[in-house]
Amino acid sequence: VQQRSGLGSPARSRGRGSLGERGRGEVLAQVGCGIEGTAREGWLAATEVREDDKHGLVVELSAGTSRASVHAFGAHVTKYCVDDVDVLFLSKRAVLDRSKAIRGGIPVCWPQFGPHGPLNQHGFARTTVWTLRSREATTESAVCEFELHDTEESRKVWPYRFKVSLKVSLSNKALAIDWLVENASDAESFEMSGALHSYFAVNDIHKVSVGRFEPGSSFVDDLDNFTVKKNDQSTVSIDAEFDRVYLASSNQVDIVEDGVRTIHMQKSDSLPDAVVWNPWEHKAKGMSDFGDEEYKSMVCVEPALFHRVQLEPRASWRASVAISVR
């Protein structure tokens, strides 16, 4: 495996241990070995790029006791862990050779969420290779940014001009994503929906609750022919297949595992909805890239734009999500 800076030339791999030996406050800019970092009062923020024929380009981020991995395929965050404990779920059967969407982590669903539109399920962003535009390590965080532009191939299935960027920032015990969509046309508008299809790792789904929903609000029940229903609970527990879109939900969502931890999500107003999904036993057995028993150790809680919005020529849409553990 060769190490790359993303924009520089390949060089030999170099372990993170050598970075830890540097003095505090020293800025590391080792483009040749693919590692950039900044030491800060007892901990290190760093970025590292690796690339191989199977996985393509992957950016590794580290900050304090937190680690994250972002694949150029789909601009897909496949790992986020704190104190060596996974926050995100990645299936042991996930396909990582760029032949299909990755099962787990945070897939980018765009320009369509779900089957609700003319494109294939969840659009094409999650199955397209993005371009690494920048990466840096500051005294506060490790950051990388990917971009996706329309191409001749993309316009065959979706005939619009666009630019999408996704910036992933890792700080000590927190992960933030900034998402920007730009209509690159001078004349044509387009409609879009989307979501950050976040898979979270849990020890036992039976001990998990997902909450901060507003009683009296509405949700779409995907298991009942997309029927819109009234919500009467502030928190939900899962003991069977579950697939709901909570409309105009709170900007804060908590995933609480009894006696273990709370994962807190903060989402922007531009992602007004929250999807909660678990395939449960029967559907899990029908997915080739998902273990038969893995439904017990995950839950999807997805900040989403369920209803399509129209983006005018040269207009832009921004969204952000922050995930922390306490």
pLDDT, tens only, 191-233 = 999 999 999 999 999 999 999 999 999 999 999 999 999 999 9
Confidence of residue 77 (pLDDT cuts 50, 70, 90): very high
Cα dist from 281 to 112, 171, 240, 241, 243, whole Å? 27, 36, 8, 8, 14
More confident call, 27 vs 177: 177
Give residue-wise pLDDT tens across range 82-121. 999 999 999 999 999 999 999 999 999 999 999 989 999 9
Q: Which residues are identified as catalytic?
A: 197, 302
The Cβ of residue 208 has, within 10 Å, a number of other Cβ atoms equal to 21
Give residue-wise pLDDT tens across range 241-284. 999 999 999 999 999 998 889 999 999 999 999 999 999 999 99
Calpha distance 36→16 (Å, rounded): 10
Calpha distance 158→100 (Å, rounded): 19
Calpha distance 20→37 (Å, rounded): 10
Give residue-wise pLDDT tens across range 116-162. 899 999 999 999 999 999 999 998 899 999 999 999 999 999 999 99
Confidence of residue 29 (pLDDT cuts 50, 70, 90): very low
The Cβ of residue 80 has, within 10 Å, a number of other Cβ atoms equal to 26
* Predicted model pTM: 0.88
Return the H-helix or E-strand segment holding 154: helix 152-157
Quick one: pLDDT at residue 15?
A: 33
| Torsion 65-138-56-5 (CA) sign | negative
Confidence of residue 293 (pLDDT cuts 50, 70, 90): very high
Q: Is the pLDDT of residue 33 over 60?
A: no
- Do residues 205 and 94 lie in contact, with contact meaning Cβ atoms separated by under 8 Å? no
Calpha distance 326→262 (Å, rounded): 5
Calpha distance 215→250 (Å, rounded): 11
Q: Which residue's structure tokens are 């980018």?
A: 108
- Examine residue 111 and say whether the peptide bond preceding it is cis (omega within 30 degrees of 0): yes
Calpha distance 156→66 (Å, rounded): 40
Q: Average per-residue pLDDT in the chain?
A: 89
